[in-house]
Structure 1
């Protein structure tokens, strides 16, 4: 529901009077909730006069002092509650309930007062932890392990060099951290040179080893080639003898093959005739099957096209419906906002402001330029 800004008359509180009254008789805040509200407001105003700034050491001390002072007042009232409990035993439930409210309200105010300092302390702890992590990383980066490669060390060196060592992060330790980075960079550069030399030495040893192994392979190949040539000569002699036997056997084989060829030709002619009959039958069946598949594919394509057209039509209708609904929502929202601003302007005009001034006040509230005041839509 829309709400308009409304002027509220706040009663004027004599802060000094209520603080003196509570100091003289703390029990009044336990028995009179209006006194408690006035006392909390007085303490809040006292803190607001000198709120402190977490950006400076003095400001943080002020915040710490303000919170401690409220804590003392809370303790004084709580002591008065404990003393009065024995005196007013018959009203103990009422007093304890009021005391709990006082503790909660003042504790809330104490927490609220100390909140900037607490937030600063948390940020300081986070900054220190990050700074220590950076220091630990640089120290660890300077340690070169067996097996580290020059490439890995160069990546580590690039990471250390790219560190942003700012005064905001390290404060008075910036020189110590900068020196540590420079030492780490120098250590890594020396390690890279050493590891690169070691890698070059290992590469040279590998090259020499490969050359020796190549020579050994070539010698073995020469011996194998000579053995193969001797074996080839023996094979040629045996082959010549075998060739003489083969020619004799070949003549007999050719005679048998001529007889077998005549019989085989007759069989193959019959087989070719049967194969041709089978091919004609198979092609006829395949043609019928292809025609059935084409008819089915045409039906499927037509059905898919109909479904696609229907889906596109439905999508267009859905988009048009959503666009109409969005336009209606935006128009309704704008009308509502105009109505709320109009009611706010009328309310301000009812306090004596002219229309132009009232309109400017409404715009200032919407822009957040009027503290503690908002207009809800």
Structure 2
């Protein structure tokens, strides 16, 4: 290559010197020139100024390419007799300049790709965190406590880089929503348990009242029957006593010659009256004993009803505890199954956060045609 060609700058290309430039190998000087300018620097990718400098150098390559290509295209149109030579040279030049541009920009392109991937990873973790408070609907308090534990277990720190502040805000917001939902759900569950207990107590009281009423009626009936028997016995004794008195009075009107017999009959009547009184007293004592027995039976029935009520209340409370324990065992089982599914996914080189997000989506039936068997 002559000294004249080496002295020509890109901006000095003209129609006059085009024949000396657009020849085989004639454009290599400009490739070397631009390459020396752009590859002579090693900008710092860690600074914004350095990244902007790389983009500027790549743009300079494109600008230099255009500055050489345009006059060459003009010269080619004038030189109809040399189209193949010039076109081949230009194609090679454009290819090399494009390659040089791409090579010049490659560190920035790679940095941008890595930066996008890094930001996507942070955004994925943020999205997972934010979805913990979604669709709480009919979730149990135990399930919500599990979500709170997951959110609380997410550590903040330098690994979040510039997303740490946003992650902290999102974590606080999610925990606030989850704790509010937990308070509301616990209040609802407590209210339902209390309502169930109150219903059981009301039913037990109604039954106890019915049984106590039956016992009272039985006691009252027994008392009435005892009183009636005693009254009948007293009436019978009075009638017998009256009959004896009437008989004694009739005998007194008998003749004197019958006095001894009347006296004997009077003594007999007196003995009979004493026996009647004894019978009357015995009947009264029997009636009182039957009344007391009826009262005891009524008291025993009432005590039995109270014991039955206590047993029913204890059984209802035990059933509530059993159901709560069953729900807790079921929730623990589900957490275990989901944990095993997550570990299986992580064994395929999937991150824990992504594995957890996949398992949660499947468990919520957000992935068609895939379920988790609990």
Which one scores higher on RCO, CA 8 angstroms, separation ≥ 6?
1
For normalisation by structure 1, the TM-score amounts to 0.46
Q: Which protein has the larger Cα radius of gyration, Structure 1 or Structure 2?
A: 2
For normalisation by structure 2, the TM-score amounts to 0.46
